[in-house]
Amino acid sequence: MSREERVYNVGPKLRFTLIEDHLIEEGSRGVRHWRQAWPLQQLSPEVESQTGRPHGTKERLIGGVAILALAVIVYFSHFNTNAPLLAPLLSVVGLIVMGGGLKDLRVKTWTTIRKWDGTAATYFSHRDCNPGERAAFEEAFAETVRHIRRTRGADQ
């Protein structure tokens, strides 16, 4: 295989680069920037598309409602006269916790790239993804990994 470099911008702030024998992921989220590389021989050619809600969504919603209920109880109890800011503070915390759960309530789809042993190497969400670029990346990735494993073997 030549020293060809193929770049796929799968999201507005996420880019995968396939070079001769590595997959390079570069991205940013807020102030966090990262760059990570994996040898293609250690990755599985099968990419997995998954759909679901993030773990803990239901628990966040229940926790937020419980904190809001506690805020109402505190507001109408004798604690309110001793600590008048406790009920508003609990209300704000409850809304923040519940807001995180509401944000994650929508079902999401993401692609997972696994290592050869089945553990996840990386993943990316389909939310802000260009479907054509994602499909091209997934196809090129699978083809490149298969080629590397066929020509060089899995354990080199």
- Together in a domain, 19 and 90: no
Does 1 reside within a domain?
Answer: no
Looking up tokens 């590595």 gives 22
According to the model, what pLDDT value does residue 10 have?
84
Instruction: Name the percent of the chain lying above pLDDT 90.
Output: 46
Looking at the fold, whether 74 and 147 belong to one and the same domain comes out as: no
- Specify if 109 maps to a domain: no
Residue-level pLDDT at 3: 55
pLDDT above 60 (res 154):
no
What confidence category does residue 155 fall into, taking pLDDT thresholds of 50, 70 and 90?
low
Same domain? 96 vs 121: no
**Confidence grade of residue 149 (pLDDT, cut at 50, 70, 90):** confident
pLDDT in tens, 47-87: 898 898 888 889 999 999 999 999 999 999 998 999 999 99
pTM over 0.75: no
Indicate if 93 and 62 belong to the same structural domain. Answer: yes
141 three-class SS:
helix
Number of folded domains in the chain? 2
> Which residues neighbour 77 within 8 Å (Cβ) at sequence distance 6 or greater?
none
**CB 24 within 8 Å of CB 137:** no
Is 57:108 a contact under the CB 8 Å cutoff? no
Domain membership of residue 147 as a residue range: 6-52+115-152
Is residue 25 predicted with pLDDT exceeding 70?
A: yes
